[in-house]
Structure 1
Amino acid sequence: MILYIKNMVCGRCKMVVKSEFDQLGLPTISVELGQVELKEAITESQKEILLKNLQAIGFDIIDDKKSITAEKIKNLIVDLVHHKNNELKINLSDYLVENLHQDYSTLSNLFSELENITIEKYFISQKIEKVKELLVYNELSLSEIADILNYSNVAHLSNQFKKVTGFTPTHFKQLKDKKRIQIENL
């Protein structure tokens, strides 16, 4: 049995969700971003308790097919931007079609309808958050960050960064109160 979980965006999310399943005595086969595969089906009462526990820590169970697909799109983009830098060179639409086995226009329309943002804008917001993270670490030059995130050049990265945040990357680095947004809130 597979349950789809909303707002799982990182390794820590996977650990927290797995812990909830373990505490309820629900053995899992695997816990991945956005989904948990269980060894056996669970009862409605177990599902209600699980839902209550997951909601208390910022997660949710998704049951409808459209929402599951939208969550899969978000998880693929988060994984691509935050964990697979070297794969950013592929076309996003091809990446999503390859992984979800659906036509891109269908995916795009569904995502925009449910999330009130285009896939492209969501992808850009994830990339900008990754830029912010790398700027805060202060270990890489802007040129290296542009290269890692597959921007054509520093100017492109800077223009997109300013358009989204209102700051240049240099000004952002100088801010004491870095305005980063948690991934699940994007």
Structure 2
Amino acid sequence: MKLIIRNMVSLRCKLLVKQELDILNISYSKVDLGEIQLLKSLPNEKMNLLKAVLLKSGLELIEDKKVMLIEKIKNIIVEMIHYAEELPKSTFSAYLTEKLKYNYTYMSNIFSEIKGITIEQFIMLHKIERVKELIIYNELTLTQIAYKLHYSSAAHLSNQFKKMTGLTPSFFKSFKPQLRIPLEDV
């Protein structure tokens, strides 16, 4: 049985969910960003207990099919941009279509309807957050960051960064700690 969880966007969230499942003695085969694969269905009493425990940590079990799809899209994007070593060579639309086996136009329409922004805008927000993170780490040049995140050039990245944040990357670098947004709030 697969469960979809809202706001599960970090490795720390995965650890927390695993810990809660173990405490509740719920058998699972896999815990990924945004989803749990249970070994068997849960009785209503145990399901309600799991919902309550997760909610205390800011996580929420999702049962609506459209909202489940949105959460899957969001989790794939977060994992792709923040945790993958390299972005996919294909377009984001082709990547999402391949991963989720849905028509991209269908996914895009539902995403926009429910989230109020397009998938492309959501990806852009996360790419900018990733750029901020990489600037803070100070291990890569802006050109290397642009290449890593598939920008056509450092200038293109700088322009988009300024458009989204109101700051240049170099100005951001001088004020880095205060200007990052937690992933669950992007």
TM-score with structure 1 setting the length: 0.96
Q: 1:164 and 2:164 equivalent?
A: yes
Counterpart of 1:78 in structure 2 is 78
Whole-angstrom CA distance in 2 between matches of 1:104 and 1:84: 22
Residue 104, structure 1, aligned to residue 104, structure 2: yes
Structure 2: tracts of 5 or more residues without a match: none
* Residue type of the alignment partner of 2:12: R
Shift of 1:176: 5.7
Q: Given residue 139 of structure 1, which amino acid in structure 2 is its aligned partner?
A: E
* 1:48 pairs with 2:42: no
Whole-Å Cα distance in 2 between the matches of residues 22 and 71 of structure 1? 24
**What is the alpha-carbon distance in structure 2 between the residues aligned to residue 7 and residue 115 of structure 1?**
14
Matched positions, count: 186
1:18-33 equivalences in 2 (<5 Å): 18-33=18-33
1:45 counterpart letter in structure 2? E
TM (normalized to structure 2)? 0.96
* 2:133 paired residue number: 133
- Give the 4+ runs in structure 1 shifted more than 4 A: none
Q: Distance in 2 between matches of 1:58 and 1:180?
A: 20
Calculate percent identity across the aligned residue pairs.
Answer: 46
**Pairwise CA distance, 1:27:** 1.1
- For the residues of structure 1 that align with 2:145 and 2:5, how far apart are their CA atoms? 31
Q: Which amino acid aligns with 2:139?
A: E
CA distances 1:28-85 after superposition (whole Å, capped 9, x unpaired) = 1110111111111111111111111101111100001100100010011111111224
Name the CA distance, whole Å, in 2 between partners of 1:124 and 1:176.
19
